[in-house]
Amino acid sequence: MANGVVTRLLSTAETLEFEPHVRAVKVLRVEATGIIDYGGVSRVLARKAAENGASLLLNARVESIRVDRSGVSVAHAGGSVRAGLLINCAGLHADRVATLAGVTPEVRVVPFRGEYYELVPARRDLVRGLIYPVPDPALPFLGLHLTRMIDGTVHGGPNAVLALSREGYDWRTINLRDSIEAISYPGFLRMARSNIGTGVGEVARSFSQRLFARSLARLVPEIGRDDIVRAGASRSARRCPRR
């Protein structure tokens, strides 16, 4: 409400007019909610940046950063760039890029992998839009939700499990440095101690399609184990303070 987002509190009967298969006591309906094709948006932004004179350097891993009074120099795999200002949008590696620039981050990135399933084609009619659980403000995770995508597919998820690599989109991808840094970081240890039960449940659900389906069924009871198939994974960066 403070941000001007139009919402309505719906009763069970009113909810079924929008989502006939959902189970809820009440629903907060956000009229302006929607989804977006992030890949498409990124391609358009890249094209517009190039049209306005920006140079796009792909596959150019940052190796060192030097800051002086006149600006900043960034050495990368293909050469170097000199500029008056460096904007760090490095995502999963933002803390490491900041360190290269001589900044000591107050937080460290701890990578979590979000795993998804999607409804089989014959069951996509169970979800018309976006269905979210009520978030628990005591937990750092949003919870499993159901999303009808632009192409008509319906994705369920994500769970949240500690990734063993910042670029690890499955359990087989392991980076020793990333793993040690994550599990030895005081901020992560503090968060883990406070959410042991939740963490164990997330890992169990990662390996069990039945448990994953059961969690989705809390929102839409008709969803069963055979109604979902494994989809891709996403990456989220939990920025954990040291203390």
Print pLDDT tens along the chain (243 aa).
888 999 999 999 999 999 999 999 999 999 888 888 989 999 999 999 999 999 899 889 999 999 999 999 999 988 999 999 999 999 999 999 999 999 998 889 999 999 999 999 999 999 999 999 988 887 767 789 999 999 999 999 999 899 999 999 999 999 999 999 999 999 899 888 888 888 899 999 999 999 999 999 999 999 999 999 999 776 554 555 554
Residues counted in the chain: 243
Please give the C-alpha separations between residue 196 and each of 189, 190, 191, 203, in angstroms, as whole numbers: 10, 10, 9, 11
| Residue 163 dihedral angles phi and psi, to the nearest 5° | -85, 140
Give the pLDDT of residue 142.
77
Exposure letters 78-117 (e unless 16+ CB within 10 A, then b): eeeeeeeebebeeebbbbbbbebbeeebebbbbbbbbbbb
CA 10 to chain centroid, in Å, comes to 28
Please give the C-alpha separations between residue 61 and each of 58, 85, 197, in angstroms, as whole numbers: 8, 18, 38
Please give the C-alpha separations between residue 240 and each of 9, 105, 184, 185, in angstroms, as whole numbers: 34, 11, 12, 9
Rounded CA separation 219/53 (Å): 48
Instruction: Kindly report, as residue ranges, where domains of CATH 3.30.9 are found in the chain.
Output: 108-241
pTM score above 0.75: yes
Give the pLDDT of residue 140.
64
Residue with tokens 């005591």: 138
Q: Which of 74, 161, 72, 54 is nearest to 115 (CA)?
A: 161
Q: Which CATH class is domain 108-241?
A: alpha beta
Rounded CA separation 10/28 (Å): 6
Give the pLDDT of residue 134.
87
Q: Which of 16, 15, 224 is nearest to 122 (CA)?
A: 224
Alpha helices in the chain (DSSP H): 12-18, 38-51, 94-100, 176-183, 186-194, 196-207, 209-217
DSSP state of 209: H
Give the pLDDT of residue 31.
86
Encoded tokens for 36? 């977006």
Task: For residue 71, count other CB atoms closer than 10 A to its CB.
Answer: 12
